[in-house]
Amino acid sequence: MRVYVIDDKEEYIPITLDKFAEGHAVPFEVFTDDCGIKKSLFDKGFIFNRFAMSMIVRQGLSRFYIKTANNLNFTEYLRHAEKMNRMVKDDSVLFIDYSEYKRRHGYIDKTLLSPLIPVDFELGGMRYPVFGGIPLASGTLTKDALNGLMELNADIVVRSEDVAKYQAYLQRLLDLRHETSTEKRIIQIKQELLRGLFSTYLHDRENRALLDTLLRETGDLVSHIERYAESPASEMKDLLEIRNVDSYVSVHSVNVCIFSVLLGIRLGLDPGILRQLAAGALLHDIGKFLISYAVINKQGDLTIDEYRLYCTHVAEGERFARALGCLPPHVCDIIGQHHERLDGSGYPLGLSGKEITILSQIVTVADSYEALITSTPKRRGKSREETMAILRNDAEKKQALNRTIYHALNSILNES
């Protein structure tokens, strides 16, 4: 929220915000009153939503105004607001809006935001069915504003065009020595940087230099995780935390990458193999970007045809990876086998037992864990206990997942 004093010769009329249509842009500027001086509160075109309301409440604002000249605009807006509010209640209409908003924004880890570095990009909030810009004092984030963000039960996002600014922000965080004194925090920031880099690569897949950087940064992250795992005070389970409340391919992929690396370390893999595992885990769902976004992002049940299309992300991804010609065979195998199951019940080929590489089996366990525990707009993520019970059943009873890998995950989660 940009707050600045405006020319006070204008005339204003008071308004109430309770009739505003949630999730829609408001076509006029809104002001508040500070000791008789009108201050701009929201720019014209801001998205009115529960985040805006919660920030207003936190700041104790109660009086709102528009310029008298905008009165006609306001009356017209109210006439449509009721219709828009009805529309908002229509789930399918809202979900299309939500998906579009999600497509144009990138998830960020709000716990990394620091009062020490000014924010020069706009923050948005997402929690289905609510989404939109968050009104915050721009520049330095106060402790209050940060607390407000932590309390919001929502994903925090930045606009796609601001991703570079956010990356620069993270780089500055890394440069702040006392801020990044723990290896765990460095891993979190590196993880966030990798997520941004991966998002950029997903939209620019022909860019070989970018792929090289991505693989190099993945290797660098693996080195940090290896160091972290060796230090006596570290708990590997700390790196298994999931913060997002929605699913994004880039978030999921980086999570699966880190989980796979932790499993690989626990299973005693060689450093070279560990880096191939990391690359394969990061790229395992690359095929999702080669098929329909509408199907990949659809919440709830897919039709049979949609499911068939969804399943092609495996073969499409593997074909793409092999065609690159620069990825080790193990990496391509992971992409092609991450939905196979040891009992032959998986796809696309129905491979079983030793036909599936051990690295693919590791990614399958990491992928299953991440997918079960993550919430989506239509499905609440399962608890850690529920998730592990399902994986135990898949490993012990169905023999669909590798038991040793399941136990490695269980031992990481239970270490104290």
Site size toward Fe ion, by CB under 5 A: 1
Within 13 A of 355's CA, how many CA atoms are on the CB side? 17
- Does residue 108 contact residue 166 with C-beta atoms inside 8 Å? yes
Query: Is residue 318 part of the contact set for Fe ion (CB under 5 A)?
Result: no
Residue nearest to Fe ion (CB): 285
Question: Three-state DSSP class for 317?
Answer: helix
- Does residue 377 contact residue 246 with C-beta atoms inside 8 Å? yes
Q: Cα(195)–Cα(109) distance, rounded to whole angstroms? A: 10
What is the 8-class DSSP label of residue 123?
E
Query: Is residue 285 part of the contact set for Fe ion (CB under 5 A)?
Result: yes
234-273 mask for Fe ion (x: CB under 5 A)?
Answer: ----------------------------------------
Minimum Å gap between C-beta 287 and Fe ion is: 7
Minimum Å gap between C-beta 313 and Fe ion is: 6
Within 13 A of 213's CA, how many CA atoms are on the CB side? 15
Closest to Fe ion by CB, 22 or 285: 285
CA 189 from chain center: how many Å? 14
Minimum Å gap between C-beta 289 and Fe ion is: 12
Query: Is residue 155 part of the contact set for Fe ion (CB under 5 A)?
Result: no
Minimum Å gap between C-beta 343 and Fe ion is: 18
- Span of 40-48, 262-270, 278-286, 400-408 interacting with Fe ion by CB under 5 A: 278-286
Closest to Fe ion by CB, 81 or 390: 390
Closest to Fe ion by CB, 94 or 359: 359
Closest to Fe ion by CB, 285 or 370: 285
346-385 mask for Fe ion (x: CB under 5 A)?
Answer: ----------------------------------------
Query: Residue 334: what are its φ and ψ, rounded to 5°?
Result: -60, -45
Match 């929605």 to its residue by tokens.
Answer: 246
Closest to Fe ion by CB, 285 or 333: 285
Q: Following DSSP, what letter does each residue of 263-310 receive, concatenated?
A: HHHHTT--HHHHHHHHHHHHHTTGGGGGS-HHHHT--SPPPHHHHHHH
Q: Which residues bind Fe ion (CB under 5 A)?
A: 285
